[in-house]
Amino acid sequence: MNYLKKYFFFISGIIQGKSLCRIFQNLEIQNVILSGNIIEFGAEPNSTKNFSKLAKKKKIKKLDFSDKHLNHKDVIKADLNKNINIKKNFYDTVLFFNVMEHLVEINNAKNQIHKILKKKGRLIGSTPFLYRYHGAPSDYYRFTSSFYKIFFRKKFKSVKVKNLGFGPCCLCYSILSDFTKKVPLLNIFLFSVSLIIDCFLSIFVKYKLKDIFPIAIYFEAKK
């Protein structure tokens, strides 16, 4: 995606009232191709916010949804803090967006996901980093990209981690946007100015600003 197209992708998301964290995550999932058996945690089939809706699809056999808080015939009720009753070695891809920060037993969750994935199956997900507290019903953790590289490599063969963000100004915009979105068009202006300043600041540093000021972390791990 070229720079201009990417800019308008963010503007479109802002107009729809999405957070910068969510827009970054939506951008990443659009590059993912789903096939075979899929399960998305923290989701239910009637939601318009499911990440599985945004991914590219090819020969989907089964698409399941799981949420520990929902009692719904089409939703698998599974608590990843505990052992889950889901068929072993069954799924080709597990989607795991904005869930891990709400779990206490993160090692158990990793082991349970590894158990239900097929050989060479993929875990794909993201968590917020420099982002507001959001209870569902509780919000426990923030994880760095360095943590994920170590955490997943203890169980998975291949791990890719990516910081999502632009820089400190867009980070400040992200924090304020819940309030400023109440004024029509103000967030479009604030984001645009923040992005320009971050691009200017990046000229003077040797590192990537998003690696110091990430809004979210994206990860992929293969069994």
Name the residue among 85, 35, 25, 45 with its Cα closest to residue 216. 25
Q: Give the 3-state secondary structure of residue 207.
A: coil
What's the pTM value of the predicted model, to 2 decimals? 0.95
Show pLDDT as tens, one digit a residue, over the chain (223 residues). 788 999 999 999 999 999 999 999 999 999 999 999 999 999 999 899 999 999 999 999 999 999 988 888 899 999 999 999 999 999 999 999 999 999 999 999 999 999 999 999 999 999 999 999 998 789 999 999 999 999 999 899 999 999 999 999 999 999 999 999 999 999 999 999 999 999 999 999 999 999 999 999 999 999 9
Which own/partner pairs from 28-34 qualify as long-range (CB within 8 Å, at least 24 positions apart)? 28/126, 28/162, 28/164, 28/218, 29/54, 29/55, 29/95, 29/97, 29/124, 30/54, 30/55, 30/56, 31/56, 32/56, 32/124, 33/57, 33/58, 34/58, 34/60, 34/93
Structural domains of the chain ordered from first start: 3-222 (3.40.50)
